[in-house]
């Protein structure tokens, strides 16, 4: 049986082996990361991408409702990875929710400023 885990883009050179190092409270968990399973959750991995099922679980709706919301441009724009592969960036979905879940046009105007603040 296949586990439903969010997809995570790994950093170049990541071996997938656990480093055994746990960062202290004042240390950035992503700095100095040498591998390991980063799929601890869509909100913790720096490069996590979500499929429609993951977005649906985050929003509390079905996968078909996610596609309906996407078609009506009520969600942030997904990343198209192929003809049948759409993914949403987990950090963007989280920020979108925190800012009141505006429609796509309003979010396109807001997102550059929000992303810049997040990267500080």
Residue 110 lies in a domain: yes
In the chain, pLDDT over 70 holds for what percent of residues? 62
What residues make up the domain containing 33?
Answer: 7-18+29-118
80, β-bridge pairs: 86
Residue 62 lies in a domain: yes
Residue 99 lies in a domain: yes
Give the pLDDT confidence of 59-74 residue by residue, as tens digits: 999 999 999 999 999 9
Residue 103 lies in a domain: yes
Residue 24 lies in a domain: no
Number of domains in the chain: 1
Show the DSSP H helices in 25-89 as ranges.
52-59, 63-71
Query: What is the pTM assigned to this prediction?
Result: 0.62
In the chain, pLDDT over 90 holds for what percent of residues? 54
pLDDT bucket at 102, cuts 50 / 70 / 90: very high
């Amino acid at each position: 049986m296949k586990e439903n885990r969010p997809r995570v883009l790994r950093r170049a050179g990541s071996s997938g082996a656990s480093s055994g190092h746990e960062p202290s409270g004042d240390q950035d968990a992503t700095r100095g990361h040498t591998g390991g399973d980063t799929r601890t959750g869509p909100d913790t991995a720096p490069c996590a991408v979500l499929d429609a099922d993951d977005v649906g679980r985050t929003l509390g709706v079905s996968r078909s409702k996610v596609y309906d919301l996407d078609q009506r441009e009520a969600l942030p724009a997904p990343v198209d990875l192929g003809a049948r592969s759409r993914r949403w960036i987990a950090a963007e979905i989280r920020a979108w929710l925190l800012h009141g879940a505006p429609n796509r046009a309003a979010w396109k105007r807001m997102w550059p400023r929000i992303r810049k603040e997040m990267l500080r």
